Amino acid sequence: MKHLESLQLAAIADDESQLRDAGDAAHLAACSDCQLELDELRAVVNEFRNPAFWRKIDASSELDVVPGLAALQAFRRKFQQEVTAADEMLRRGSLEDLQALLLTGRVSGTLGLVEALIERSEQERVSNPTAALHAAKLAVDVSGDIPNDESYRNSALHFRGLAEKELANVLRVLGRFEEALASLDRATAHFEMTPASHFDQIGVDFVRATIWAATERYAEALRLAKSCAVEFREYGDVSREAHARILEAYVYALQGQPAQASALLDPLVAPLEDVGDHETLATVWSNLGACAIELRDWPAAIGFLEQARGVFQKLGHWLGEARSRWQLGNVHIGQGNYAIGIDLLSDVRVEFLGRHLPIEVVFVSLELVDALLATARLDDARAVCRTLPDECVRLGMPSNALAAVAYLRETSRALTPDRVRQVRSYFERFQKDAAVVFASLP
């Protein structure tokens, strides 16, 4: 009996439609040796889909020992060349320039370009979500233009799913939850047509759980977060499992159970230290600090937040560091150290203004106004309320939200904690529904 060639089996492992010949199919059904080799190659393809794989080994040196992977190695080399070329284009020009080059046909869309655009979006998703949205939408468009009939058809479908997932993540940050869920549905549809995409589907489920948490579908969010944590653990992905546990803890905290949230977070510290994931570790400490604030355990809160702040600062993660300072400001206010807390909130507010983060500017401003009112610094509180609307206009806030901050300015002569509380409540709703209209107190 003549066995199928290893390269042919590798092509089938990457794309099941390559098994076109009825004789080859019959041979596979009858030959345990070929079936075993095909199963091994499918396992390798599945590993190729796992981002953690590429962080652990050097494909050029260690994959040669696996038989029949020459075609997949060639694809990987081509892909890396495409990513390098795309990174260079993005470094030299703007997204608008790239879009113009694509429209005129002077640049062709490649999987490497899709990867580079997704990475750009990931880098700017929190600090500059508008720019991230442009990159993510462009990634979706480019991935959609890559023909299905190329030798890497399944890879094209796979990257369409990744692009849609990233677009969903950006839309989630922007509070456009229905659009985000629609993107997740499209990502799932792409992944379902692609073998070995289970790992990425877990990622889709995780994003969906974060949206459910943000829209107060707590039971569904908890169920899905727990499921994601278990599945990430099966893949040996300590960092992603930790993020799923952090989300689970966050949902408990949102439901007024900070002690239960803290109990989930504590066991994450040691594994993250073992794998050297300092950024996720800082996120855990930040969340532990938030739980300690709710429990009014001020010394623990300061300890956790200072640890988080130090790591974020060392990593150059300015937003994490600024949020840690924001929380520390609330701790000092909670302890009655108003002068220190007000200074911290004021500094963070200026930084958020400079970074063009309108929602963060509003929330830290409202907390600052509360602290100023509590210390009878009425003129300073009114000054914040008078300048806030113009600042929000410059930051591009929509008119329905501007009405809320304008209300504070209009009523600043009769400013009360209740009025501040009403505006805060509105912006909490605005985060879940960007179309919600502000209605002032009578």
User: Is residue 128 in some structural domain?
Assistant: yes
My answer on whether 288 and 369 are in the same domain is: no
Domain that holds residue 12: 6-65
Measured CA to CA, the distance from residue 172 to residue 210 in angstroms comes to 8
Provide the number of structural domains found in the chain: 4
My answer on whether 30 and 41 are in the same domain is: yes
pLDDT tens readout for residues 27-55: 777 776 677 777 767 767 766 666 555 55
My answer on whether 327 and 352 are in the same domain is: no
My answer on whether 99 and 26 are in the same domain is: no
CA–CA distance from 234 to each of 276, 279, 382 (Å)?
Answer: 19, 22, 54
Angle at alpha carbon of residue 90, lines to 88 and 92, rounded to 5°: 70
Measured CA to CA, the distance from residue 395 to residue 397 in angstroms comes to 6
Measuring CA to CA, which residue among 309, 342, 21 is closest to residue 4?
21
My answer on whether 325 and 223 are in the same domain is: yes
**pTM, entire model:** 0.76
CATH assignment at residue 100: 1.25.40
User: Is residue 206 in some structural domain?
Assistant: no
My answer on whether 190 and 245 are in the same domain is: no
User: Is residue 59 in some structural domain?
Assistant: yes
User: Is residue 73 in some structural domain?
Assistant: no
User: Is residue 204 in some structural domain?
Assistant: no
Last residue of some domain: 305, 335, 365?
335
Q: Are 48 and 79 in contact (CB under 8 A)?
A: no
My answer on whether 124 and 184 are in the same domain is: yes
pLDDT tens readout for residues 319-361: 899 999 999 999 999 999 999 999 999 999 999 999 888 889 9
My answer on whether 353 and 322 are in the same domain is: no
Measuring CA to CA, which residue among 204, 242, 196 is closest to residue 42?
196
pLDDT tens readout for residues 237-283: 899 999 999 999 999 999 999 999 999 999 999 999 999 999 999 99
Which pLDDT score is estimated for 433? 80
Q: What is the mean pLDDT of residues 60-79?
A: 58
Q: Give the CA count within 13 Å in the CB-facing half-sphere of 18.
A: 18
CATH assignment at residue 326: 1.25.40.10
User: Is residue 209 in some structural domain?
Assistant: no
DSSP state of 3: P
My answer on whether 291 and 265 are in the same domain is: yes
Q: Taking each helix axis from N to C terminus, what angle separates 399-410 and 417-432, rounded to the nearest 10 degrees?
A: 180
My answer on whether 302 and 409 are in the same domain is: no
My answer on whether 98 and 59 are in the same domain is: no
User: Is residue 108 in some structural domain?
Assistant: yes
Answer yes or no: is pLDDT of 57 > 70: no
My answer on whether 424 and 437 are in the same domain is: yes
User: Is residue 190 in some structural domain?
Assistant: yes
